[in-house]
Structure 1
Amino acid sequence: MKEKPWIDVSIPLTNDMGVWPGDKPFNFRLSYTKEQTKSVNIGEMSTSVHTGTHMDAPFHYDNDGKKIHELDVSLFIGPAKVVDVRGHEVIGRKELEAFNLDGVSRLLLRSLDRADSSFPERYPILKEDIGPFLKEKGIHLIGTECPSVDPVDSKHLPAHHALYQNGVYILENLVLKDVKPGLYELIALPLSIHGGDGSPVRAVIREL
């Protein structure tokens, strides 16, 4: 049987992409051209580690939390379930109880249907009760199309902490608008940035 194709569900990194308000924008440029070096082009980039599709390390919101290079890579590879929760301004236990999540360890929320890489003016957030609910279900990773699981102006980050306290890791800024609900294989590996509070991710899925 022919294998299903891999689907890229990450935001391309471009110099005109939207970023978190006040964060360092993404920039790529050639620092040396092939004409200059006589052999190769050499590029360089600068960015916040939370630009585009990215993984949060617990250190992002807890000084005692693990940094990105300390996380087990197996957390980010394996079966995942995509569910459609569009139409909800907040998502928690009540909204997710409508889905069969038995045996699910990674959950991806089609929540926004973002059309481009601009920063969304509004996006749905997660309720604090989602942390205990996901732990009950045995889910250790949640992915969302939104740039954060908390409001853009939040300083206390209740959803981040509720997920962290229940052993759930956070993958943000996915692109799932052309992905139908169902079971998939996920690969969403962060870079091994020593001491990092997060990392850009090239996230791909393949239908199971």
Structure 2
Amino acid sequence: MITKLPLWILIGGAVLAFSAGCVNIIALSGFTNLSVSHVTGNVSLFSSAIARFDWPAIFFIGASLLSFLAGSILSGYLIGQRSLKLGRRYGLALFIEASLLFCSFLLFFQHDYLGQLLAAMACGLQNSMVATYSGAVIRTTHLTGLTSDMGAAIGNWLAGRPVNKMMLGFQTIIWYSFCGGGVVGAFGYFALGYTAMLIPVGIVLAAALVYQITSNRLPEMREE
């Protein structure tokens, strides 16, 4: 059971969740009206499109799902581990994610559907990059499993059973960070349009730079 979480996990998880919430609401608010940060809802839309024989929707939603998968595959290829441990190739993965989001911004700005695919790929990369820490699953681009885990923990607490308060607190931080990112992304999109995509681009790029600097300076963050 996790009794203490390193500060870099708390901050990193919150920052990445905020960014994902921002990206997702911009995609949903724009001309595609389709999520990029998670898969379940899009699979339901994909199923509906198949039932209606809506071929354009089938191909587009299917391509978005495959793009998320491609981002996850890229994460597995680059990082090659299931347990979160600094000193690996997270910096490179973050720089690639920032590049994907920037290219998505340029394409979204031109109302090009490829922007949706690159944004979905970036989210798939981020979600798989975080993986697990001390056996606890950490996801930063959607809240379904996290909310279920929080609910189960609260239920156990109400029943008088011991719960991991540290992990519950961390999950709450992720939840509110994703929500906060959505609020900022919505305000940004309504005020600036797709230029608001530069917000998550800047966040992820800053995270990549900070990671590269700190991982080179702190012994405990270097690759073993």
Could you tell me the TM-score, scaled by structure 1's length?
Answer: 0.26
As a proportion of its length, which structure holds more strand? Answer: 1
Could you tell me the TM-score, scaled by structure 2's length?
Answer: 0.25
As a proportion of its length, which structure holds more helix? Answer: 2
